[in-house]
Chains A and B, each alone.
Chain A
Amino acid sequence: MTFQPVTFRGAPAKLGALGARPLAAPGTKRGVSNVRADPAPMRLAVITVAVVFLGLFIVVPLVNVFAQALSKGVFAYFSAITHPDALAAIRLTLVAAGISVGLNLVFGVVAAWAITKYEFRGKSLLITAIDMPFSVSPVISGLVFVLLFGAQGYFGSWLQAHDVAVIFALPGIVLATVFVTFPFVARELIPLMREQGTQDEEAALSLGASGLYTFFRVTLPNVKWALLYGVLLCNARAMGEFGAVSVVSGHVRGETNTMPLHVEILYNEYQFMAAFAVASLLALLALITLLAKEVLAARAAKEQAP
């Protein structure tokens, strides 16, 4: 009946776990398999393969994005990203991501709370459902909403009669983005909240705190790093989402194009430099996300409770 938390608390398990763990415990006897005891050429070969692979598939393309973007000079670069269509795409991306992340923040906290603090029927179904967007192709995710809200969809005629635009408009883009990104926050919170159990909340209630006071003063601070981490990943994915948004957006230039869609259009029109210029902004977002992730991991590790 009493939940006994394990020793590692306060940080999402995956944060900082890599690197902290030794590759293998030193063997006590000769002949025991031991990574450190592998011959030097072997070690060199393994490391080389890893580094070359990383360089070839990650670093070179990333550098290329910036090289191409700046190939015609800084002025051309800035004029490409300040083109009205580009600015409209940036604005739409920020708005759509902002709404989606906000919704998923609330949904993620509520879902994680329900799953970890209560027992109810259909709980395992909910856990599975949360993971679904990860296993469904994004194109399908977009298509689902077209089938629901499109002109020929179930609610299409009703929406048209009431003059509400969902598909080929902002609501559709937000819906598709929310669907694709909703696992991120919940998945970061569930393992941590499960591990922490309900004792802290029980303690707060026993001290006379109200439910809301307990939530804001105890529950949220306990998961704050995992929550920020989830929001970060959610945001990165929301801004970068292509497939699902592509299906519902309609590609109206300057109106329903998000940044990834704008990049595609420019590229298809042979405006390579402009395409890479806008793409470089997305690449920059990725780099900032990585950096922020590292900072969060460091902060979380520092605050790691008993």
Chain B
Amino acid sequence: MKIDLHHVTKHFGAFTALDRVDLDIGSGELVALLGPSGSGKTTLLRIIAGLDWPDVGEVRFDGEDALSRSIGERNVGFVFQQYALFRHMSVFENVAFGLRARRRSRRLREAEIRARVEKLLDLVQLDGLAGRLPNQLSGGQRQRVALARALAIEPRVLLLDEPFGALDAKVRKELRRWLRQLHDEIRVTSVFVTHDQEEALEVADRVVVLDRGRIEQAGPPSEVYERPASAFVHEFIGESVALPVAIEFGVVRFAGRTLALDAQGTPNGDANLFIRPYEMVIEADSAAAPLRGTVRRVHGLGPARRVEIALPADGSEHIIEVDAPRSQEVVVGQVVGLRPNDYRIFAASA
């Protein structure tokens, strides 16, 4: 099912949780809402679900107004961060809850309920644990019960709030891969909230980056990572090296010196130059390179080493960390040149 959000705005007292959010989610898509805490991502998810209502704006499911419907009428599967399993019910009864809660006229026969629950437990690989109580399960198992319970009502949308937040690192990785596979199998439109960029980039078809109630960028993981639309996205996703620069009519200046770099159309004033650590090339010949600095520390194992370089800046120094291939010789104290292979410049926000 397709979800359209138009101008969704929500205030909590003086705090603006969402500020005119526009977003279209395609049928069968798996979308990640990514942002720091307080960015409004959970509020947005709860509004789609019908657990919260916007002050202004529209939410449409397949073109139909969803805001006039309660959560029970929207037919959404919601997986809570802490799972919210019914602690006094067995795994089986938890999964069957939505089927048993139906109005008498729509209720399935016991045998059908049984068959459907068993099929779902099989799908989430929990067959054999049907009789357990939630507190007899591990975190990962509880997560899958919560998912099976949400899927039991054959939801038109699956919404997940920090689905892996409460799990330890190893289980999280496994479940991530598993959720992706499950989505490829059942193809239900899904939205999940996360503050973990790695999670969003690995699992989602499309990543929506939120900050302070606004969408900063929405796009496929590769696009969000390789072509960040703002300074915030650049810093939030992946590792960044930031250099405070000034732009004067297309000329990039750092610490009073002009750099031989293109300003990328950035307007006059203070700006920040962003680079990924692996985009910076260290050159032994410091004279020809746009930037020059002194090597302070070399550390790290593996194919690339991490090099700390001090750039002289107005009487003090600005330290940046870049990658250097293991084959390249870099010595502490050496003066080196730095040439960004790729970079992005964003005007500093006032």
Q: Indicate whether A28 reaches chain B with its CB closer than 8 angstroms.
A: no
User: Which partner residue on chain A sits nearest B40 by CB separation?
Assistant: A1
Q: Which of B50, B102, B142 contacts A306 (CB 8 A)?
A: B142
> If the complex has contacts A202-B80, A306-B135, are A208 and B98 also in contact, measured as CB distance less than 8 A?
yes
User: Which partner residue on chain A sits nearest B96 by CB separation?
Assistant: A207
Minimum Cβ distance to chain A for residue B109 (Å): 18
In the assembled complex, the Cα of A217 lies from the Cα of B152 at a distance in Å of 18
Q: Which of B42, B76, B98, B101 contacts A1 (CB 8 A)?
A: B42
Across the interface, do A208 and B78 meet the contact criterion of CB distance under 8 Å?
Answer: no
Q: Which of A1, A209, A210 contacts B97 (CB 8 A)?
A: A209
Q: Which residues of B contact A5 (CB under 8 A)?
A: 82
In the assembled complex, the Cα of A196 lies from the Cα of B75 at a distance in Å of 25
Q: Which residues of A contact B76 (CB under 8 A)?
A: 206
Across the interface, do B84 and A199 meet the contact criterion of CB distance under 8 Å?
Answer: yes
- Chain B proximity mask over A188-211: 1 for CB below 8 Å, otherwise 0: 000000000001101111111110
Q: Indicate whether A304 reaches chain B with its CB closer than 8 angstroms.
A: yes
Q: Indicate whether A256 reaches chain B with its CB closer than 8 angstroms.
A: no
Query: For chain B residues 81-120, which have a beta carbon within 8 Å of chain A?
Result: 81-82, 84-88, 97-98, 101-102
In the assembled complex, the Cα of A10 lies from the Cα of B81 at a distance in Å of 18
Interface size class, chain A: 20 to 34
Across the interface, do A210 and B72 meet the contact criterion of CB distance under 8 Å?
Answer: yes
Across the interface, do A203 and B101 meet the contact criterion of CB distance under 8 Å?
Answer: no
Across the interface, do A202 and B84 meet the contact criterion of CB distance under 8 Å?
Answer: yes
Q: Which of B12, B80, B101, B153 contacts A199 (CB 8 A)?
A: B80
Q: Which residues of B contact A208 (CB under 8 A)?
A: 72, 75, 98, 101-102, 153
Q: Indicate whether A221 reaches chain B with its CB closer than 8 angstroms.
A: yes
- Chain A proximity mask over B148-179: 1 for CB below 8 Å, otherwise 0: 01101100000001000000000000000000
Q: Indicate whether B293 reaches chain A with its CB closer than 8 angstroms.
A: no
In the assembled complex, the Cα of A208 lies from the Cα of B101 at a distance in Å of 7
Across the interface, do A306 and B101 meet the contact criterion of CB distance under 8 Å?
Answer: no
Across the interface, do B161 and A213 meet the contact criterion of CB distance under 8 Å?
Answer: no
In the assembled complex, the Cα of A208 lies from the Cα of B51 at a distance in Å of 13
Central interface residue in A202, A217, A218, A306, by most chain B CB within 10 Å = A306
In the assembled complex, the Cα of A199 lies from the Cα of B79 at a distance in Å of 10
Query: For chain A residues 250-306, which have a beta carbon within 8 Å of chain B?
Result: 303-306
In the assembled complex, the Cα of A279 lies from the Cα of B204 at a distance in Å of 71
> If the complex has contacts A2-B81, A205-B71, A208-B153, are A303 and B88 also in contact, measured as CB distance less than 8 A?
yes
Q: Which of A207, A213, A303 contacts B149 (CB 8 A)?
A: A207
Q: Which residues of B contact A304 (CB under 8 A)?
A: 135
Interface size class, chain B: 35 or more
Minimum Cβ distance to chain B for residue A237 (Å): 28
Q: Indicate whether A152 reaches chain B with its CB closer than 8 angstroms.
A: no
Q: Indicate whether A9 reaches chain B with its CB closer than 8 angstroms.
A: yes
Query: For chain B residues 49-81, which have a beta carbon within 8 Å of chain A?
Result: 49-51, 70-72, 75-78, 80-81
Across the interface, do A221 and B88 meet the contact criterion of CB distance under 8 Å?
Answer: yes
Across the interface, do A206 and B101 meet the contact criterion of CB distance under 8 Å?
Answer: no
Across the interface, do B82 and A199 meet the contact criterion of CB distance under 8 Å?
Answer: yes
> If the complex has contacts A206-B76, A208-B102, are A218 and B153 also in contact, measured as CB distance less than 8 A?
no
> If the complex has contacts A1-B43, A202-B78, are A207 and B88 also in contact, measured as CB distance less than 8 A?
no
In the assembled complex, the Cα of A208 lies from the Cα of B156 at a distance in Å of 13
- Chain B proximity mask over A209-240: 1 for CB below 8 Å, otherwise 0: 11001000110011010000000000000000
Minimum Cβ distance to chain B for residue A294 (Å): 21
In the assembled complex, the Cα of A217 lies from the Cα of B153 at a distance in Å of 18
Q: Indicate whether B134 reaches chain A with its CB closer than 8 angstroms.
A: yes
Minimum Cβ distance to chain B for residue A205 (Å): 5
> If the complex has contacts A200-B86, A207-B149, are A2 and B161 also in contact, measured as CB distance less than 8 A?
yes
Across the interface, do B98 and A207 meet the contact criterion of CB distance under 8 Å?
Answer: yes
- Chain B proximity mask over A165-200: 1 for CB below 8 Å, otherwise 0: 000000000000000000000000000000000011
User: Which partner residue on chain B sits nearest A5 by CB separation?
Assistant: B82
In the assembled complex, the Cα of A118 lies from the Cα of B248 at a distance in Å of 56
Across the interface, do B72 and A9 meet the contact criterion of CB distance under 8 Å?
Answer: no
In the assembled complex, the Cα of A210 lies from the Cα of B150 at a distance in Å of 16
- Chain B proximity mask over A139-183: 1 for CB below 8 Å, otherwise 0: 000000000000000000000000000000000000000000000
Across the interface, do B82 and A202 meet the contact criterion of CB distance under 8 Å?
Answer: no
Q: Indicate whether A124 reaches chain B with its CB closer than 8 angstroms.
A: no
Minimum Cβ distance to chain A for residue B72 (Å): 5
Q: Indicate whether A135 reaches chain B with its CB closer than 8 angstroms.
A: no
Across the interface, do A210 and B84 meet the contact criterion of CB distance under 8 Å?
Answer: no
Q: Which residues of B contact A128 (CB under 8 A)?
A: none
Q: Which of B12, B72, B84, B133 contacts A200 (CB 8 A)?
A: B84
In the assembled complex, the Cα of A200 lies from the Cα of B72 at a distance in Å of 14
Across the interface, do B134 and A305 meet the contact criterion of CB distance under 8 Å?
Answer: yes
In the assembled complex, the Cα of A205 lies from the Cα of B142 at a distance in Å of 19
User: Which partner residue on chain B sits nearest A213 by CB separation?
Assistant: B101
In the assembled complex, the Cα of A27 lies from the Cα of B305 at a distance in Å of 44
Minimum Cβ distance to chain B for residue A6 (Å): 10
Across the interface, do B51 and A202 meet the contact criterion of CB distance under 8 Å?
Answer: yes
Central interface residue in B98, B150, B153, by most chain A CB within 10 Å = B98
User: Which partner residue on chain B sits nearest A209 by CB separation?
Assistant: B101
In the assembled complex, the Cα of A306 lies from the Cα of B12 at a distance in Å of 31
Minimum Cβ distance to chain B for residue A225 (Å): 10
> If the complex has contacts A199-B80, A203-B78, are A222 and B87 also in contact, measured as CB distance less than 8 A?
yes
Q: Which residues of B contact A207 (CB under 8 A)?
A: 72, 97-98, 101, 149-150, 152-153
Between A and B, 12 residue pairs with Cβ closer than 8 Å are A1-B46, A4-B81, A9-B87, A203-B80, A203-B149, A206-B51, A207-B152, A208-B101, A209-B72, A210-B101, A222-B88, A303-B88
Q: A9-B87, A306-B135 are in contact. List 7 more A-B contacts (CB 8 A).
A: A200-B84, A203-B85, A206-B49, A206-B76, A207-B98, A208-B102, A224-B88
Residues of A whose CB lies within 8 Å of any CB of B are 1-2, 4-5, 9-10, 199-200, 202-210, 213, 217-218, 221-222, 224, 303-306
Which 4 residue pairs across A and B have the least CB separation, nearest first?
A305-B87, A207-B98, A209-B101, A199-B84
